[in-house]
Amino acid sequence: MPGRIQSIERAAAILRLLASGARGLSLAEISRSLELPKGTALGILRTLQHVGFVEQDPESGRYRLGGGMLSLGTRYLDGNELRTRALNWADTLASRSGESVRIGTPHKHQVLVVHHVFRPDSTRQTLDVGALLPLHATALGKVLMAFDPLVVPEEVTSVETDAPVRLTTFTRHTVASMATLEGRLDEIREQGWGWEAEELVDGEVSIAAPIRDRRGVTVGAIGVRGAVERLRDDSGRPDMEQVSYVRDAARAISRELGVTPY
């Protein structure tokens, strides 16, 4: 493991300092507060200015947080808003795939179901909006993990030693090794969608794809879940027609998020 990089630590300290003051700070104030030579502070400020994290007031010459920093802070998307924007597309996916549809967002090391569309048949089904699903045993969760480095299973954060992480198993197919899971996540990043077979419930398969906002940040995932005989083909691969329906829906919702809300 390489050592810590001092200039990044200093840059972080400058950002924290700027975030605490509303009126902006002069170069002298910044170098004094952080006990940095003026030249060093100026170099870091100019770099941060270049990437849009800091801006300088042309009148007073004071520094403050830039627009690039503020947009990092708004990466949170309200789950109810996501559902509203996704409503028609999720219905279309359920109708084309003939399976139930769920949209999930990351929530405290789990997947929060923010939207659920029933499978279009006459069976009795119950709405499970608000339910929490495990990250590593669902297609929704795998996709969220693959495209957002901050989304990790609980087990990863609680282990303090270097011992291999063991994930909770739900069936004999659940991937319990973090190393194996990492391999699967690489595949998902490569192909742009994810799936699992019987890892959460015996006899069930789920397929999911990421929903991205206008900055390309993954804010959720949409997927179908259904019987293994319907969603998996003879070669043991997921039904590619279903995969294309899921990806179409994810793309349509991502496009929808690119426009300003009503």
Q: Does 125 bind other proteins (CB under 8 A)?
A: yes
The 78-117 site mask, x for binding other proteins (CB under 8 A), equals xxxx-xx--xx--xx-xxx-------------------xx
Nearer to other proteins, 121 or 229 (CB): 121
Near other proteins by CB under 8 A: residue from 129, 131, 156, 228 = 129
Q: How far is CA 255 from CA 52, 61, 98, 182, 191, in A?
A: 25, 40, 23, 29, 19
**Closest distance to other proteins from the beta carbon of 69 (Å):** 20
Nearer to other proteins, 80 or 168 (CB): 80
Let me know the angle formed at the C-alpha of 243 by 240 and 249, rounded to the nearest 5 degrees: 145
Distance CA 128, CA 119 (A): 13
Q: Does 220 bind other proteins (CB under 8 A)?
A: no
Distance CA 85, CA 166 (A): 37
Nearer to other proteins, 25 or 140 (CB): 140
Is the CB of residue 142 less than 8 Å from the CB of residue 194? yes
**Closest distance to other proteins from the beta carbon of 82 (Å):** 8
Q: Does 28 bind other proteins (CB under 8 A)?
A: no
Structure tokens at 247: 């990806």
Amino acid of residue 194: G
The tally of CA atoms less than 13 A away on the side-chain side of residue 234 is 0
Nearer to other proteins, 125 or 180 (CB): 125
Interaction site with other proteins (CB under 8 A):
78-81, 83-84, 87-88, 91-92, 94-96, 116-118, 120-122, 125-127, 129, 261-262
